[in-house]
Amino acid sequence: MVFLKQLVALGVLAAAPWLTAAAQGHEHMDMSMPMPAKPKPKPAKVRPAAPRLVAPPKAGTTVDQPAATGAPAPVVAPADTSHHAGHEHSMEGMNMNGTAPAEPAKASQMNHMDSMDMTGGSHDMGAMGMAHDSTMAMPGMSHAFSRRLPMNRNGSGTSWHPDQTPMYMWMQHKGPWMLMYHGAAYGRYTSQNFNNSGKRGHANAIDGPNWGMAMAQREIGARGLLNLSLMVSLDPLTETNGGYPLLFQTGESYKGQPLIDKQHPHDLISGLTVGYTHAVSQDVDVSLYLGYPGEPAIGPVAFMHRISAMPNPDAPLSHHWTDATHITFGVATLGVRYKQFKLEGSNFTGREPDQYRYDFDRPRADSWAARLNWNPTSTLALQVSRAFIKSPEDLHPDEDVTRTTASVLHSRTWGERRYWASALVWGLNEHGDGHSGEHAVLAETNLTLGRPTFYGRYEFVQKDSEELDFYISNPVDIPLSKVFNIHALTLGSSYRLASLGGPRGPELSIGGQLTRYFIPADLETESYNYRSPGYGKMPLSASVYLRLTAPWMSMKGMGPKSNGMGGMKM
């Protein structure tokens, strides 16, 4: 028991840096990064005795020039390069000519960001304040599982965002390590089915969904990349009695009863992972990801990390159709990337977390998944995945699920805190008991225009009588199982009030939302088993909240017309 308490304390303390970084505004990157000086012009060639007239090069053509002269950069580790404002970074050797080096950069080059690659065709850097049509793979600032991809592509687990996805986080260097902290916390009042007092699902609550994450990565040799991450949640303290009220939500259990019209809390230790990636070439990576807990290769970026879902404090009703495996106690994923494609396979524990949110569940390694990711442009991330999940529900240990998902994530950024992010997700659960399977579709969007944000979410979910514990009576007085088609439409808005503790402190926003449910008439009246009345006519739910998030991270002055790298703020 003492060991367990110590483990819990260490987990909370490990996630605290993203909060302390906010309180100490200096723990961030505020880097002015001048571009390298232009090389001296090439001296004119001596014309031969019988010169041949040569037309001058046309505008826009590239003329080879010798490298700028000067003392070579010393070979040093990039120690503590940017965790205080005003530190400058050397950017010599920035490659913008559309050709990548045949070999990974040498150590001395990597330590001075010499090989900042801005190739990549159609991938522009709008998400980082850049209009240039390219992909950046900067040493120490790369994707968690590739030295050749931008960090904007980081999702949950090993999933991919679009490259123009905005980032909210604190960053700093500690020796060879790049450290990143981010998270979100809500203080909320929610009222579910408020227009049907006394009906099923009617509930009011003050609660606080939250999570925090710390990640560290460093390069290993000329081709390796090591990534460590820890994710924690204080939901076990802020979401009592099995979770927060959420109309028509289902999944997991509490005290031997299924959670219905409630969203379960997340475990204190929601992620503890290690990943290693080896760059075979500039186009090919091989990666291994281990998590206890972690996230297998199923579905899109989990809702807690999707930028399109960021303003909404509620979990999707389709959570257990698409991304419920984001906390899995025992995951091993092998991935191979080829250019803008990545194929992954996972072995993992099928059983969902139990009601004891402070411990580590037993790993089982009894389930399998495969996923194909494709980012065709800088604004899109596509995936398809399929998984066999053994005995996910504690109350139904003999039931297995085959889950299939497909999704399209879109993100486009116009400038600082101005972006539009959307998601379209489909999921199918097949139980193998003669049912044709139950479908779910989610469409959500987040339009942020500086301080104001406007967002929405539409869901269609099929849930049967067992899922909702709601049976229909019939003339022979026998409970009848049925699949119910449930539609939910949420519209909301939030407004960024301030940055607490300085410009790099956590961002405080205020917001509210309203949800309208469209349900079949059978769900409006009393169920056959009389455990509760029906949901009533036209159920409505609403929430008002305050939200804290890590600050927006931007890179200013990096457009094609800029003369330098000044003003990169993180």
Token pair of 32, please?
A: 């002015």
Residue 54 domain-assigned (yes or no): no
Residue 319 domain-assigned (yes or no): yes
Q: What is the pLDDT of residue 470?
A: 87
Sequence letter at residue 526:
E
Cα separation, 399 vs 390, in Å, equals: 7
Token pair of 481, please?
A: 């199982």
* Residue 439's CATH number: 2.40.160.10
Residue 191 · residue 541 · CB < 8 Å: yes
Cβ-in-10-Å burial (0-12, 13-18, 19+) of 95 comes to middle
- Cis omega before residue 43 (within 30°)? no
Cα separation, 232 vs 15, in Å, equals: 6
pLDDT band at 555 (very low <50, low <70, confident <90, very high): low
Average pLDDT estimate for 287-304: 98
Which among 232, 248, 246 is positioned nearest to 293, based on CA atoms? 232
pLDDT band at 67 (very low <50, low <70, confident <90, very high): very low
Domain count, the chain: 1
- Structure confidence by residue, pLDDT tens digits, 20-53: 444 444 444 444 334 444 445 555 544 544 444 4
Residue 467 domain-assigned (yes or no): yes
Token pair of 50, please?
A: 């019988």
Task: Identify the domain containing residue 407 by its residue range.
Answer: 151-569
Residue 57 domain-assigned (yes or no): no
Cα separation, 450 vs 416, in Å, equals: 7
Sequence letter at residue 389:
I
Residue 236 domain-assigned (yes or no): yes
Residue whose token pair is 């009601």:
355
**In terms of residues, how long is the chain?**
570
Residue 202 domain-assigned (yes or no): yes
Which tops the pLDDT comparison, 442 or 52?
442
Average pLDDT estimate for 354-364: 95
- Structure confidence by residue, pLDDT tens digits, 381-426: 999 999 999 999 999 999 999 999 999 999 999 988 999 999 999 9
Residue 378 domain-assigned (yes or no): yes
> What is the CA angle 528-191-443, rounded to 5?
85
pLDDT at 497 over 80: yes
Residue 102 domain-assigned (yes or no): no
> Does the reported pTM lie above 0.95?
no
Residue 159 · residue 373 · CB < 8 Å: yes
Which among 542, 543, 442, 537 is positioned nearest to 487, based on CA atoms? 442
